[in-house]
Structure 1
Amino acid sequence: MLITTKWKISIHTTGLTGPVAALIMLLGPIGALVGLLYPVLIWSRFTLKKHTMAQAIAGGVFGLVMTVLEAYLYMDLLNLPVYNLVPLGECLWIILGLIFAPVVLGILTILNDNGKENTKAIFYALCVLAIILSIFFAPQSALITLILEIITSILVSYFGGENFSWFRAIQ
């Protein structure tokens, strides 16, 4: 609410990703499958001209990160053990897998709109780098989430067509 008084952050993407974060905490990568709707919702909010790309992406990142951090904080402060939760480290890796492609595409969109060339090569190079790093450092569930989110974001980019800024960034 405080953010929205100064900047029109997307409550729609926050509303999607907050429950996705809870599902990740409970179900791990299976819960993250619902998060594959995140790029679709970003496309929708941007295409309908309800938000800028940054506002739509930020809403989702905010929902994911804050839900997990608040849940673990309250469980710790209130000393309420909840059993069978996915460990915090794995949750955060899965969340990074979900937000990587939209955040990178959002940044590359800005670069592309400012005349930067080769944003397609930058995107795919960053994707390969993220996958390689995930192979060595992240749990397998986060790697799978990352790959699925990259594929979903690419499909949304092409489905969005020439008027969608992600498409222009990776064409």
Structure 2
Amino acid sequence: MLRDDVTEAIRVAFFEEMAEVGYGRLSLDAVAKRANAGKAAIYRRWPGGKDAMTVALLKDFAAEVLQVPDTGTLRGDVRQFLVNACATLEDPLTRNMLPDLMAEAGRNPALGDAFVGAFAMPRRDKAEQILHRAVERGDIPADTGLDVALELMTGPVYWHTVVIRSSTDDAYFDQLTNTILKALS
């Protein structure tokens, strides 16, 4: 039986190590040392090694972030989506890991597929739920191009928080929400 406290220590150590050294230099030896666990403990939990461990932990990480309540209005839903997405992207571990993971995903197709499936698609699905509710309420036309609308909701927050590493505030969220709503109308 695997101990939950050891699994959690390994999980935390994995993300801290990846944020510190990047995916390419990440070693399971260093993760084990940081977690005060043996390397065998890692392989008992993730027998496939670093790539398999990364995929599994990304899925776990992605599942626990980005909840978007139904506020009853498109404005409220979009704004809350932006606030929650930025909170995730402004997290120091995420901010340090994400660019490196995206670069590695370009070189490693299996990791790229896992990254899209575990991190990108759940966020896209949340944004899509918001847009479908808006169509059902009559807030936006039924023929709204959802793919472009989804990119309007996700691209700017990534650019703002990860690429140019700017902070966010209420004024930013209000301005971006207004811009997105104008584009959707």
**TM-score between both structures, scaled by the size of structure 1:** 0.34
Bigger relative CO (Cα 8 Å, ≥ 6 apart): 1
Computing the radius of gyration from Cα coordinates, the structure with the larger value is 2
**TM-score between both structures, scaled by the size of structure 2:** 0.32
